[in-house]
Each structure stands twice: as structure tokens, then as C-alpha cells.
Structure 1
Amino acid sequence: MTAPQIDEQIAQYSQTCTKLIDEVGRVLVGQEAMVSRLLIGMLTGGHILLEGVPGLAKTLTVSSLAKAIHTGFSRIQFTPDMLPADVIGTEVFNPKEATYSIKQGPIFSNLILADEINRAPAKVQAALLEAMQERQVTIGTETFRFEDPFLVMATQNPIDQEGTYPLPEAQVDRFMLKVMVDYPTRDEERKVVDRMAGGKPMPEISAIATPEDIMGARGVVEKIWCDDKVRDYVVDVVRATRNPAELGVRGLEGMIETGASPRGSINLMKASKAHAFLQGRNYITPHDVKSLAPDVLRHRVMLSYEAEAEGKTVDDCIRQILDNVPVP
């Protein structure tokens, strides 16, 4: 496919993404970065983890985006007393016929809102592993594949809050992006108060996109061009989380316990393509990589005790890597 043809498809499908952003904006004030990251997940099939204190419209954003797409949507409210069967389903015995039948759980949908995922115990969180990675679940002896698009958008409160459980590293790695949701600005918060406390009903979200639109846009994103030098830059940024000195990053010796795996490189490349697509370009620039690197890497890098003792955060280390790895 030629570049002009790709440009034409980008213009066609990016218009749909713009409409989605505008539709979500009817009920959401600010949080443009969170909405764009959710769209990147939609365009790449990557799962998204949103972290922030309660009351920052995480659930509202995800549910509004799901309503704007005419597809299946399921919300799972995680609680400490949940069982794995509450998520994936179970076998039900019929005493009259002496047979078993499958009762499918709420995971059987297209867009899954896993609300407050870190309030569930580890065995329930582990039940999502096969679903998120393999796009399928096994109940009894039968395996069920999910229909595309299938995307898990999870929210969690910070793990230092009471009544929460840290997510297992194996499950955290299944998320393409971990997005930190911050407080709104003063002007945005004033608009929120005017809109939500004004006595007017919240606007209804209209379905303006279809699964076919999403899958078509994914096909275009896969065709976004990337120069070999930018590919090398993606690999170098991720490798710098494992051995900073090898890539010329000084000051991080002994600070990083575990770096990002090759899955981080794959996801950074995919996310950068989607970011370029949302910007209306048919090629990736190093700016795309820099913009997405913190969200792709922050949950894949584990700091050492020395770094924690010095007050360094994962984002500090990633920022230092991005500032020192040579940009093509």
C-alpha cells in the first residue's frame, strides 16, 4: 500500500477517533491524556491500567468510551470476597438431567471495565491472566475464545490505601499501559462542579463507532511506517532499564532491580504507532516514543532498596533514561 493510500485511510479512521473524543468530552472535563491512552489501547488491542485516588472520573471515562462504541460492554466491580468463578464463569450441575452446563461470567464481552481491580484477592486477579494474554478462558475442560475487539480497562486505587492488594507482577506485565491519573486543574475542577452539581441530568452518550471501525483502524495503525533508527531507539530505551551504563545513562547504577522485558519493547513500538496515527501521521517520530515510554515502562521496572531510600521514583528513572539515551 502506498503512502497516499495510507494517508487517506488515516484521515478516514482518525475522524472516527476524533468523534469518540468529542462524544466522551460531553460528560468528561479535562483528562485528555487519559482518553488518548484509552484510545491507544483500543487501536492496539492492549490492556490499560488506570491508577489514581477515588473521584477522578476513571470509571466514568471508561464507561463513557464503551458506550460510544456499539459493542459489548461488561463492568466487573472487584471486592475482597470475590471468587474466580465470579469473573470467568463456572460449570453448573443440572440435577434433573444429571448434566453440567457452562454459565459464562462477565468476562465474556468485548470491553471489560475491571473496576478497582486491586481490591480482589490474588486468586481472582490470577483468573484474568489467561483471558488477558491468550484472549480465551477455560472452564472445566472447555476452552472459549473471545471475539474481537477484546480489551480490559482496569482501574485501581494506590496500593497504600486501606483494603487493597498489590497486583502480581505477572498480571501487571499484561497491561500495555499504566496511566497515572492526576487531579484536575482549578479551571477544570470548576467546570466539573458546574456540570455535576448544577442539577442538570448528565448527557446521554451516543454510540458513534462500531467494532468494524475499531478493527479497521487497527489495520491502519499496523501499517504506520517506522525508520530503522527509530526502531533502534525503542530497543535502546527499553534496554537502558536493564543496563543503564551500557547505553550511556549515568547515575542509575544500583537503582534498578529489574528492567523491562522484550514485551516492553513490543508494546512501546505498538503504542508509538497508535500515537502517530492519532496525530494524523503515517510514520513514527522519537517524540512518539518519548511520549509513551513512561506509560509503557513504569509498571515493568522495579527499583532497588537503594533507589527507594534515596527517594527516587520509577518515573524519575525513566525520565533520566529518556534524557540521556541518544535520540536519532
Structure 2
Amino acid sequence: MTDLTAPALPRSLLVTGASTGIGEACARHMAARGWTVFAGVRSLKDADALKDGAMGDLRPLILDVTKPEQVEAAVTTIGTALGNKRLSGLLNNAGIAKMGPLAIQPLDDFEAHFSVNVFGLLRVTQAMVPLLGGDPARQGPPGRIVTITSVGGKIAAPFLGAYTATKHANEAMTDTLRRELAIYGIDAIAVGPGSVRTPIWNKAEKDNEDGLYSGSDWEKPLEIFEETMLKGGKTGLPPQKIAEVVEDALSSRKPKARYAPVPDKLTNFTIASRLPKRWLDAIFIKRFELKKK
């Protein structure tokens, strides 16, 4: 018979890409909310920085989603820590973004996006399904999978073709997982933010400092686009706002299948996602000076 007076076990969560930005904010927020958070970082330096000033049970672990051996080690670490209990949640956040025109973007750059954002995501997800509810030997309610996608998962902007291709894939994967994993009671939810104050676009700008696209037909439009993205990275939503949305996705009794925390949502997402594609083409072409010369 269940002891109703026994304290409830803390809920547990794995966050990938927790070194900075959205991942860091979510890891800190959920730990402060009483969750045991396993936070995937790329180095011991990142682990120390994440722990500094954090509240609650925050446990950094080295996890590069492109490395199977590190994913396997994470399964062992988390599984041992949980005992015979289930993992309450997986937050797929790790991702990269590099700007460039698809017509001349190096295939290595394009493939790198899929290696991290798609194959890395699926690698971690597959590894965690038994802990989330696929293993009948484990006890407790089934967990949830929350994936950070993007406005780009619905609207493909110029110069982010590789990134938005992966985010479209993430949206489709989330829907498929939600329908397939219903047999275990595991839910899958997408969170598609708009502009967020994170370092990701600063990193993307540095990637282009080698002048890879200098002298190309897209040099000037790409400069305008970079300025737009960097401005969004400074004026967008704070990562803490996304962390609060993620908490709702993980904790709500009836979570949405998709959340869209977007600044000025009516203009930047609702209307844009419903415009005829040719109209949206014209807006992008005018804004970034892509009109045929």
C-alpha cells in the first residue's frame, strides 16, 4: 500500500546545451523550482560557471550530443542517480546556427547543423526514452520531451536556410514522437521562440568574420540580415521568459502541443505565418535588398 505521508520524490530533468542562453536559463530555473536538473555542458569550465550562484539540485555533466559515447555515459549517470524511478523530462535545447546563402554555403556547414540540431537531438531522445517511460521496470509517471525549435521552424528566413531546415525537421520530429510515444504515455512538446537575448547570433556573426561571402552577390543583403539578427539578440525576450514557458510545458496538467513565445507575436509570427508565401517573399526581398538588379 502506498504511503501517502511519504514525501514526493523531486522531479528530474535533462537539459542539453546548458552552457549559455536558453539552456542555462532553463537549467537554473528548473533547479530553483525544486527539480533535479542534469545539465549537459561541453567543458568543465562551463560546468563550473553553470554551478556558480545556482540554486537547488543542479548537476552539470559533460554532454556533446554529437558524441555517442558521451550520450551513453549520460544515460548511465542519470539512470544510476534515478535508481528505479523515471526521468520526468528531457529538454532538447542544444543547437547551432550559421548564417549564409544556401546557394554557396559550404556543405560542411550545412551538415554540421544537422549533426547537432537533428541527429544529435534524436540520438539523445532515443537514449532517454527508456528512462522517460519506455522501460517498464522503472516506476513513476512517464516523462515529457520538450524541444526548443524556433520561429524558423515555421517561417524560413533568407540566410538561415540550414538552421531553419533543421528547425522544420525538429517540428516534424516532435509531432511524430508525440504520436508514437503515446504508447508509453510520454508527451512531446515544441517551444518555438522568436528573438531571444542569447549569444547564438554573436557566434554566428563570428563564423562569418573570415569573409567567406565577401564579394558574393549576397554580401550586402547578408550584412543587413546580420545587423537585424544581432539587434534581435539584444532586444529580444530574456532567456528567463523561455524558461518559464518550458516550466509550463513540463508541469502543466494539459500542456499545449506547441508554444510560441515571440516578441510582438501578432506581427512577427501570427500574421507572418498566415501570409501567402509570395507576399512574404516580397517582404523579405525588400527588407534585405534582394531584388534582382
Same-fold status (TM-score > 0.5): no
Name the structure where strand makes up a greater proportion of residues: 1
Higher relative contact order structure (alpha carbons within 8 Å, sequence separation ≥ 6): 1
Structure number with greater Rg is 1
Instruction: State the TM-score, normalizing by the size of structure 1.
Output: 0.30
